[in-house]
Structure 1
Amino acid sequence: MTQTNVTQKEWEERLASIRPSERQLKWQETEFYGFIHFNINTFTGKQWGDGTESPLLFNPTDLDVEQWVVTMKEAGMNGIILTCKHHDGFCLWPSQYTDHTVASSPWKDGEGDLVKDVSDACRKHNLKFGVYLSPWDRHEETYGDSPTYNHFFVNQLKELLTNYGEVFSVWFDGACGEGPNGQKQVYDWDGYYETIRELQPDAAISVCGPDVRWCGNEAGATRKQEWSVVPKSLQDAEKIQEASQQTENHQEFIREVSSAEEDLGSRNVLEKTDTLVWYPAEVNTSIRPSWFYDEKEDEQVKHTEELFDLYVRTVGGNSTFLLNVPPDRRGLFHEKDVSVLKAFGQKLKSAFQTDLTESATQTLTNPYSIAIAFDQPTLLNCVVLQEDITKGQRVERFTIEAKMDGQWETVYTDYVIGYKKIALLDAISTQHIRIKIKASRSVPYLKAIQTYYIE
């Protein structure tokens, strides 16, 4: 795939020919969805359990999955991923392959199935449902006996993928350790993927998987240029313990993207790479400093403006936004989290409710310049652009210009667009704007242009 003995046009056509699968398209269109970290750790105050915790500890007093799902929907989320099993090995469903599950807990007298409850509530409220299943199981005695444990893990995976309806995402991280035998477990990733493709062919396999790429941090940091076309080697980058949910070390948890990781998809990077793939980014972070609930963090919930900034930089930066909200020991989202999420949902709805271009006239001067004329001078401070990514990701640099006092002025300059770019501008009043593509991998294809005034 390297740029060797090919013309510039041929090279650009090759880059533009790399396109998403149907499942990647559906995943990208989900845009904003929720993580729910709720497990035995909620009741021990730990972020990483060690597998010795008694199932008797799991006993939420007022668990209400309707509250979870309704709150996330009101926040504008389109799906939910549940931590069905974290590193401690405790299962939120009554797995037939271990007794370290809700069936051994006092919750609902051992008759409960939280995975079913959440999946049913998601369907009731028209949200997608996804599962997180930790490959690292610190309770399971066969862990470290790689073939035996891999068989055990696939059996649990099959339970989740056959008993709870359609799954839009299967979320893996790469946490790994030694088993009771002192041997480090070797995960059969290909076997896991094969199982998912067979049972849930439309599900995106995320982070430690071939469909969705981790953005590189858990703090909500984003790149200035987020490319979906990247070196294939990145598909194996997160299959290591060191890259996974480092909440035991807070400095690791909040680390920013390093300079070495900043550029993943420019021409300078890709021209040195033989094999390229469509591997889009997901940004995952928590509404609180930690993943599981900790009452000491009740005053550290991200506020509405922080969440809006995250949304603009993630969904509006050619990524998706996966926001974790951890229920407390009651089995409820804390009141502070609920208040912030509802306010954020209202702001999100209000911000993008009225597209000012609906009554405007669009003129395609050429594939590299699109003009928009409003009926009268119009106040705006946001332009949303989308490429038709079924034709690849092509735009490398663009400007937004506005006609002010009879003269065209550049009011915004940026780089990639991809699935979506939310461009926030200083407020302007104008009757004419135009989008000019300054650099592109072959002919650009814009799918949508919208304008807003966000108060």
Structure 2
Amino acid sequence: MPTDQELIRIVPSDRQLAYQETEFYAFFHFGMNTYTDREWGDGTEDPKLFNPAKLDADQWVSAAKSAGMKGVILTCKHHDGFCLWPTRYTSHSVASSPWKKGTGDVVKEVSDACRRHGMKFGIYLSPWDRNQPCYGTGKEYDDYYLAQLTELLTGYGEIFSVWLDGACGEGPNGKKQVYDWERYYACVRKYQPDACICVCGPDIRWCGNEAGDVRKSEWSVVPARTALAESIQEKSQQADDEEFRQRKITSDMEDLGSRAALQGEKDLIWYPAEVNTSIRPGWFYHTKEDNQVKSLEELISIYCGSVGGNATFLLNVPPMPNGLLHPNDVARLAELGQWKRSAFSGNLAEFAEITASSEDAAHPVQNVLTDTRTTWYQPETDAKTGAFPAELIFNLHTQKALGYLVIKEAIQHSQRVEAFCVYAQKEEKWVLVYEGTVIGYQKIVKLSEAFTRKLKIVFSDYRVAPLISFVGIYPKR
């Protein structure tokens, strides 16, 4: 069993920290499937089908921004092999479509729109290519894939995410490709060193389902074997399967980083989770789903469970064949953004009298009011026994109906908190209102039953000492 000191040596890279701080971002599934009304194409589709006459990337990006998102990821090529940019390496692309008489470039339009709106831009490039004749031949296909990856990494400005899907089926020659993941990773590191390589990559971990389901305790310090691309590939969707899209986290994948889960593990890594789901039942646009957009309540629940559960949240919003987002999707995103701005405004902690059971002189309790990488609260520690009990009390001065509590750890120094409790004072007695496990980057706690003048947070179990970078207490709206 790794010691506490060994556990807290596992910390995020700068690129992983930046990715976690992105928090919430959009997926745009758009391509040949948009025109065939399918989820997975077979690579035989005619490029002449592709003609988004009203394409407006600014509408896509501004809709995402209205929801409080900070970036977008575009499906530059899905499994059918059709490319949304005029690649030099195949004619199966927008260059062979009637859209803009073959001169269009969706990747450029979306990446440019991101820059105009101050949003990050990322790429999805499916390793599986059901159109490419050399798929399944080994190095020849890897060379082809890397050539296209290089085009995307060098031609469209800064990239924050390279999303590598684990799907691996047969190509037109009936063969499967054994992907050379290490060459793919090296290419990304060479041309976009600040980009995170996600899912079948070493930087960001797929949460394990597409339904928006989250773990009760999401650890970022996990066994190194969880990042093996081949094992991730095995668990990924390998065919168009509606049941797979609704599947939740299985019991054997629920606990990845507790002390019990790490028993006997020698190699540990920082490998934070990303929760991904679609705003509709499918990933690509289908007219029949226009009235099946996730409710505001569903999206709030997933947001609080992911962004507020030590993960990031990638929400898919599929454009229509005309190149616009559907009004129902746009309206829902705006509603979500309005909720987010309202729910997390007016931090009552800023006006509270804050006391701590103990504090390190260099890291006083007032630091929980400044949400930065460079400041945090830390309890006093003893060289022999470790940290003293860590307990924070917020005196709000008057009775308040509380909505949400937000707690963040200084994860640049690892993930440490294993258990904590929240109490509200009622008639001079402390009443338990929430019992939690991990915190990590951020924990969002709904305090719907709390009406109090004082709130107490007790960090009961942790690795070495809890380092708390932020506490937000928000009134009920």
TM-score by length of 2: 0.92
Q: Give 1:349's aligned residue.
A: 341
- What is the match of residue 275 of structure 1? 267
What is residue 369 of structure 1 aligned with on the other side?
A: 391
Report the CA distance shift for 1:241/1:12 in structure 2 as closer, same or farther (over 3 A): closer
The answer (yes or no) to whether the contact 2:61–2:117 under 8 Å persists in 1 is: yes
Which structure 2 residues correspond to residues 194-209 of structure 1 after superposition, within 5 A?
194-209=186-201
CA distance in 2, matches of 1:388, 1:421: 12
What secondary structure sits across from 2:187 in the alignment?
helix
8 Å CA contact 2:131–2:172 kept in 1: the answer is no
Q: Distance in 1 between matches of 2:21 and 2:192?
A: 18
* CA displacement at 1:272 relative to structure 2: 2.0
The answer for unaligned runs of 5 or more in structure 1 is 4-10
Shift of 1:147: 0.3
Aligned match of 2:131: 139
Q: Deviations over 1:121-172 (max 9, x none)?
A: 0000000000000000110111011100000100100000000000000000
1:207 is displaced (CA, Å) by 0.4
- In 2 relative to 1, CA 323–350 (structure 1 residues): closer, same or farther, beyond 3 Å? same
Deviation at 1:245, TM superposition (A): 4.1
1:87 is aligned to 2:87: no
Q: Which amino acid aligns with 1:340?
A: R
Equivalent-residue separation in structure 1 for 2:102 and 2:236 (angstroms): 31
Indicate whether 1:407 and 2:399 are aligned. Answer: no
Cα distance between partner residues in 1 of 2:132 and 2:229: 26
Displacement of 1:237 = 5.3
SS of the residue 1:309 aligns to: helix
Change (3 A) 1:16 1:207: same
Deviates more, 1:156-165 or 1:356-365: 356-365
Asked if 2 retains the 8 angstrom alpha-carbon contact of 1:247 and 1:253, the reply is: no
Distance apart, 1:247 and its partner CA: 6.7
* Contact 1:37/1:82 (8 A) holds in 2: yes
CA contact (8 A) 1:173 1:239 kept: no
**SS of 1:132's equivalent?**
strand
Picking from 106, 109, 117, the partner of 1:125 is 117
Q: What pairs up with 1:148-227 in 2 under 5 angstroms?
A: 148-227=140-219
How far did residue 241 of structure 1 move? 4.9
Alpha-carbon distance in structure 2 between the residues aligned to 1:211 and 1:61: 37
Q: CA deviation at 1:383?
A: 0.8
Closer/same/farther in 2, CA of residues 101 and 239 from structure 1, 3 Å limit: farther
Pairwise mapping of residues 313-324 of structure 1 onto structure 2 (< 5 A)?
A: 313-324=305-316
Is the alpha carbon distance of 1:350 and 1:253 closer, same or farther for their aligned partners in structure 2, counting shifts above 3 Å? same
1:252 and 1:429 mapped to 2: Cα distance? 42
Matched, 1:398 2:390: no
Q: Does residue 6 of structure 2 align to residue 14 of structure 1?
A: yes
Q: Please, which moves more after superposition, 445-454 or 149-158?
A: 445-454
Residue type of the alignment partner of 1:394: R
Note the C-alpha offset of 1:181. 3.9
Aligned to 1:262: 254
**Equivalent residue pairs, number:** 447
User: Which residue of the partner structure matches residue 450 of structure 2?
Assistant: 428
Cα distance in 2, alignment partners of residues 325 and 174 from structure 1: 21
1:46 Cα deviation after fit? 1.1
Equivalent residues of 1:150, 1:187 under 8 A apart: yes
Q: Which moved more, 1:364-373 or 1:36-45?
A: 364-373
Instruction: Check whether the contact 1:17–1:392 (CA below 8 A) recurs between aligned residues.
Output: yes
- 1:292-311 alignment runs, 5 A limit: 292-311=284-303
What's the CA shift for 1:361? 2.1
d(CA) in 1 for partners of 2:406 and 2:18?
20
1:381 equivalent among 394, 403, 415: 403
Give the whole-Å Cα distance in 2 for the aligned partners of 1:85 and 1:249.
19
Which structure 2 segments of 5+ residues have no match?
359-378, 380-389
From the superposition, tell whether residues 237 and 152 of structure 1 become closer, same or farther in structure 2 (CA, over 3 Å): closer
TM-score with structure 1 setting the length = 0.96
> How far 1:253 sits from its partner (Å)?
1.4
Give, as a single letter, the amino acid of the residue that structure 2 aligns with 1:205.
I
Cα deviation, residue 17, structure 1: 1.4
C-alpha contact 2:133 2:172 (8 A) present in aligned 1: yes
Distance apart, 1:429 and its partner CA: 2.4
- What is the deviation of 1:239? 5.3
Residue 460 of structure 2, aligned match among 432, 438, 442? 438
1:8 alignment counterpart: none
